[in-house]
Structure 1
Amino acid sequence: MPKLNFRLDEALHTALMRRARGANLPLSVFIRQVLEQAVDERKRYVFSSQDEILATAIQILSILATSVGQQSPKALEQGMTQARSILLERGLLGEGDHP
């Protein structure tokens, strides 16, 4: 198997590390999958199998958040604060989304 060595600027490396952690993958596996996506003639998204699970989870959590918000706005606010903290920790928030 050929081996590649290349340099990344610090910001790109940090962003890739966050995305790899968010996908629960080692950096090398994540980068290999991103490169596979770049050469895939069908232009499919590498993590598409997780997209359906994510969409379902978002729908369920949206329904739950609506219900909790109606019953206890304070509990919803605390839960959203915790969720933002977890998302930030995993590198899943954009720069403008930081609390």
Structure 2
Amino acid sequence: MTKLNIRVDDALHERLGRRAHGANLSLSAFIRSVLEQAADPGRRYVFSSQDEILATCIQILTILATSVGRRSPETLEKGMAEAQDLLRERGLLGPEDRS
């Protein structure tokens, strides 16, 4: 295996680290997967098998959020705040992604 050394600024390193943590991967494994994606001749997303599941989950959660929001806006607001905290802990949202 060839070793590759690159330099990135601190902010990018931090964002990559959060994404790697959120994917439950080491930083090296995460970056290797990103490079594989970039080098794919078909320009397909490396984790495309998850896309259909993700799309279905988003649709279900959107329907659920709409229903809860109509019944109890306060409950929806609290749930959204808790969801953002969980996403941030997993590295899927940065500290700047506050609403």
TM-score, shorter chain, exceeding 0.5: yes
- Which secondary structure state, in structure 2, belongs to the residue aligned with residue 97 of structure 1? coil
- Name the count of aligned residue pairs: 99
Q: Deviations over 1:64-86 (max 9, x none)?
A: 11121122211111101111122
Question: 1:56 maps to which residue?
Answer: 56
Percent of aligned positions that are identical: 68
**Does 1 or 2 have the higher relative contact order (CA < 8 Å, sep 6+)?**
2
After superposition, where does 1:69-84 map in structure 2 within 5 Å? 69-84=69-84
2:19 is the alignment partner of 1:32? no
After superposition, the Cα gap between the structure-2 partners of 1:7 and 1:96, relative to the gap in structure 1 and judged at 3 Å, is closer
- What letter is aligned with 1:33? S
Question: 1:44 maps to which residue?
Answer: 44
Runs of at least 5 residues in structure 1 that lack an aligned partner in the other structure? none
- Which secondary structure state, in structure 1, belongs to the residue aligned with residue 25 of structure 2? coil
TM-score (norm 2): 0.85
- What letter is aligned with 1:17? G
Question: 1:97 maps to which residue?
Answer: 97
- C-alpha distance in 2, partners of 1:55/1:90? 19
TM-score (norm 1): 0.85
Provide the aligned C-alpha RMSD in A.
Answer: 1.8
Runs of at least 5 residues in structure 2 that lack an aligned partner in the other structure? none
